[in-house]
């Protein structure tokens, strides 16, 4: 696996060594040159070396002679979406993320991911899945397979594609099944951590148990959802709307099997034959500022309880209306549908 270290080279390295490293990186062939304090001082590509060789530089010479001294980068914890979009538009495929001391802490690879969102993720996976018995008697619902991967893993992989670096999973029922799968999986062992519920804690209560947040914004989602939500667009809406808490809403159609009368002062002024009424319903995903967790004041707490508390405290609660694919796998018919449709969400 090509991590940040594969893209880092010391300033004392030779051009020949840099060429060898670039050859290994193949399509991701960009190196970031660091000084003895591991601080970024420049970038290096095949093109930089080619131009250096044409000007008389030797393979044994130092890479500092051919580096680009002003590489693009992101600052950790200060991801600006306008800058991110500009880099993508201008075809900067590999971009380092620097801490305050200019050390490289991560690499954004736009060939393999859509975005790089500064949010923490919590997937709620502690429920018993009673409506899916007997399938869930020995297997927690998030671990039911869709093809060769569990439901929760497909959810996580989509989050990874938006540059999410850390995913917390809140576990309770058959927790060891989920934990064992994740800690032994090479794609997840270093990116996934766990919140262990003491007892049933509702749809958001356990989130307050975690104190190790890396970002100011948290996304909490049910782990048994399938969707094609554009997390970057949602995050931008969240920021631009000045939200404290934002609910993903999805349309739900209610078909009325009768003619609906339009009445004014007991006089029928019109009618609609068997209309369909569209409601916006809770989609089981929530994006919010972490200070909202301060309002969770008891062990058992549902997301709807938190929304009520936020409204009473005059916080800005908004809805992000998602009109694409969304499926809550709660019943046997939902699981059957998911088995037939999950491939539609693969990029």
Could you tell me if 146 and 283 lie in one domain? Answer: yes
Q: Residues 86, 172: one domain?
A: no
Say if residue 158 is in the same domain as residue 261.
yes
Secondary structure letter of residue 63 according to DSSP: G
Residues 49-87 as b/e (b if ≥16 CB within 10 A, e otherwise) read beebeeeebeeeeebbebbeeebebbebeebebeebeeb
Instruction: Give the pair of three-digit tokens for residue 101.
Output: 């001391």
Question: Do residues 166 and 75 share a domain?
Answer: no
Statement to judge: residues 103 and 141 lie in one domain:
no
Asked if residue 62 belongs to a domain, the reply is yes
C-alpha distances out from residue 267 to 39, 256, 261, 264, 271, Å: 78, 21, 10, 5, 11
pLDDT single digits (tens) 75-92: 887 888 899 999 999 989
Report the CATH number that the domain containing residue 224 is assigned in CATH: 3.90.550.10
The verdict on residue 114 lying in a domain is no
pLDDT tens digits, residue range 133-172? 999 999 999 999 999 999 999 999 999 999 887 899 999 9
The answer to whether residues 95 and 128 belong to one domain is no
**C-alpha distances in Å from residue 147, one per residue of 126, 143, 193, 342:** 22, 12, 24, 8
Domains of the chain: total: 2
Beta strand 40-44 with 31-34 is: antiparallel
Which CATH number belongs to the domain containing residue 55 in this structure? 3.10.580.10
Residue 206 lies in a domain: yes
Percent of the chain at pLDDT exceeding 70: 99
Query: Residues 124, 241: one domain?
Result: yes
Task: Judge if 305 and 182 occupy the same domain.
Answer: yes
Q: Which H or E element spans position 338? A: helix 332-341
pLDDT at 189: 75
Residue 55 has pLDDT above 50, yes or no: yes
Mean pLDDT of the chain: 91
Q: Are residues 58 and 156 in the same domain?
A: no
Residue 282 in any domain: the answer is: yes
Domain end point (choices 45, 78, 109)? 109
Q: What is the pLDDT of residues 169-226, one digit of tens each?
A: 999 999 999 999 999 888 787 889 999 998 999 999 999 999 889 899 999 999 999 9
- pLDDT grade, residue 62 (50/70/90)? confident
Phi, psi (degrees; rounded to nearest 5) at 225: -100, 145
Residues 215 and 87 in one domain: no
Domain assignment of residue 189, yes or no: yes
The model's pLDDT over 250-307, given as tens digits with 9 standing for 90+, comes to 999 899 899 988 898 888 889 898 988 888 999 999 999 999 999 998 989 999 999 9
How far is 141 from 223, CA to CA, in rounded Å?
A: 9
- Give the C-alpha separation, 280 to 282, whole Å: 7
- Tell me, yes or no, whether 313 and 182 share the same domain: yes
Residues 127 and 68 in one domain: no
Tell which of 74, 109, 144 closes a domain: 109
Orientation angle between helical segments 46-54 and 15-25, nearest 10 degrees: 150
Q: In the prediction, which pLDDT does 38 show?
A: 86
Residue 172 included in any domain: yes
Ranges 4-8, 120-124, 220-224, 267-271: which has the least confidence: 4-8
Entry pTM: 0.87
Q: What pLDDT is attached to residue 344? A: 85
Domain containing 280 equals 119-345
Residue that terminates a domain, selected from 109, 132, 159: 109
């Amino acid at each position: 696996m090509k991590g940040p270290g594969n893209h880092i080279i010391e300033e004392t390295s030779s051009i020949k060594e840099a060429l060898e490293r670039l050859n290994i990186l193949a399509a991701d062939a960009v190196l970031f040159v660091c000084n003895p304090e591991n601080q970024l001082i420049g970038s290096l590509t095949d093109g930089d070396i080619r131009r250096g060789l044409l000007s008389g530089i030797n393979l044994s010479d130092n890479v500092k002679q051919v580096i680009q001294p002003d590489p693009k980068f992101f600052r950790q914890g200060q991801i600006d979406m306008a800058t991110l979009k500009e880099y993508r538009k201008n075809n900067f495929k590999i971009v380092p993320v620097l801490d305050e001391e200019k050390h490289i802490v991560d690499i954004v690879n736009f060939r393999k991911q859509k975005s790089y969102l500064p949010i923490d993720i919590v997937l709620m996976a502690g429920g018993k899945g009673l409506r899916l018995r007997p399938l869930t008697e020995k297997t927690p619902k998030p671990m039911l397979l869709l093809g060769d991967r569990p439901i929760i893993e497909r959810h996580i992989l989509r989050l990874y594609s938006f540059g999410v670096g850390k995913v917390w999973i809140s576990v309770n029922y058959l927790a060891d099944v989920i934990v064992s799968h994740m800690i032994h999986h090479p794609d997840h062992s270093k990116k996934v951590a766990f919140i262990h519920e003491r007892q049933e804690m509702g749809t958001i209560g356990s989130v307050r148990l975690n104190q190790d947040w890396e970002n100011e914004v948290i996304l909490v989602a049910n782990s048994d959802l399938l969707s094609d939500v554009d997390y970057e667009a949602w995050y931008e809406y969240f920021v631009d709307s000045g939200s404290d808490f934002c609910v993903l809403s999805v349309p739900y159609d209610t078909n009325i099997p009768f003619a609906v009368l339009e009445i004014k002062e007991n006089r029928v002024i019109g009618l609609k034959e068997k209309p369909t009424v569209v409601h916006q319903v809770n989609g089981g995903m929530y994006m919010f500022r972490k200070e909202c967790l301060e309002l969770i004041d008891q062990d058992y707490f549902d997301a709807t309880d938190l929304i009520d508390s936020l409204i009473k405290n005059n916080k800005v609660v908004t809805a992000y209306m998602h009109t694409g694919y969304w499926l809550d796998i709660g019943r046997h018919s939902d699981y059957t549908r998911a088995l037939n449709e999950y491939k539609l969400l693969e990029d």
